[in-house]
Amino acid sequence: MDAVVKKFVPQVPHQPGVERPSQAEVEAAVRTLIRWTGDNPEREGLLDTPKRVAKAYREMFGGYDMDPVEDLGRTFEETAGYDGIVIVKDIDFHSHCEHHMVPIIGKAHVGYLPDGKVVGLSKIIRVVEIFARRLQTQETMTAQIASTIQNVLKPRGVAVLIEAEHMCIAMRGIRKQGSTTLTSSFTGAFEDSPEEQARFMAMVRNGGK
């Protein structure tokens, strides 16, 4: 298929007015947190922990340095007239709750109705990954994925379903393990048509049968 590359105004990845601290400042902050737990950051097992944490955070929150608009900018118009639903399901992701900075672990299911062009399936996965690798609430992440795909790809509709377990529930507070949270967001034809919503949900739950 021939690719059609179009230019989009990129989103600003970083929050306005946020200046990243230096490596030394990050490591000092981790040492403070270790002392806060009641442990000694100078003991052998923890000596390199501040450096490791800084490196891990740079990876886990790398979504702030990525632009989902750029990933969706390469589309294909040679579709042989296909205009049915396209679904990428069971997209595993790890994110972090913006309230307690502990993990959110789940799966995302993303569908859209093409309007003359499609996007590479891996690009849908990338959009999920980019938003997951930021401090998040599940509700916000669900809406961000749907609105970004809708605004950039401009399909006839977008459907997003996310199911995830929140460690802020499993590890602290009520401490209930195994409970999951479901969120969904629909645009265009999916928002307007309960039948399209039902079809998306059935394909996600029944493997397209």
Catalytic residue among 42, 99, 139, 195: 99
Residue 75's nearest CA partner among 12, 155, 159 is 155
Binding residue per annotation — 96?
no
Task: Please answer whether residues 133 and 61 qualify as being in contact, where contact means their C-beta atoms are separated by less than 8 angstroms.
Answer: yes
Which band of pLDDT confidence, cut at 50, 70 and 90, is reported for residue 153?
very high
Query: Tell me: domain 77-206, CATH 3.30.1130.10, correct?
Result: yes
Residue ranges covered by each domain of the chain: 23-60, 77-206
For the stretch 65-115, pLDDT in tens is 999 999 898 888 877 888 899 999 999 999 999 999 999 999 999 999 999
Strands (E), 114-190: 118-119, 135-136, 157-166, 181-187
Q: What is the pTM of this model?
A: 0.88
14 classed as catalytic: no
Contact 91, 107 (CB under 8 A): yes
Catalytic residue, from 27, 96, 97, 129: name it.
97
pLDDT tens-digit series, residues 28-76 = 999 999 999 999 999 999 999 999 999 999 999 999 999 999 989 888 8
Is 98 assigned a catalytic role? yes
In the residue annotation, 166 being an active-site residue is answered as: yes
Q: Is 97 annotated as a binding residue?
A: yes
CATH superfamily, region 23-60: GTP cyclohydrolase I, N-terminal domain (1.10.286.10)
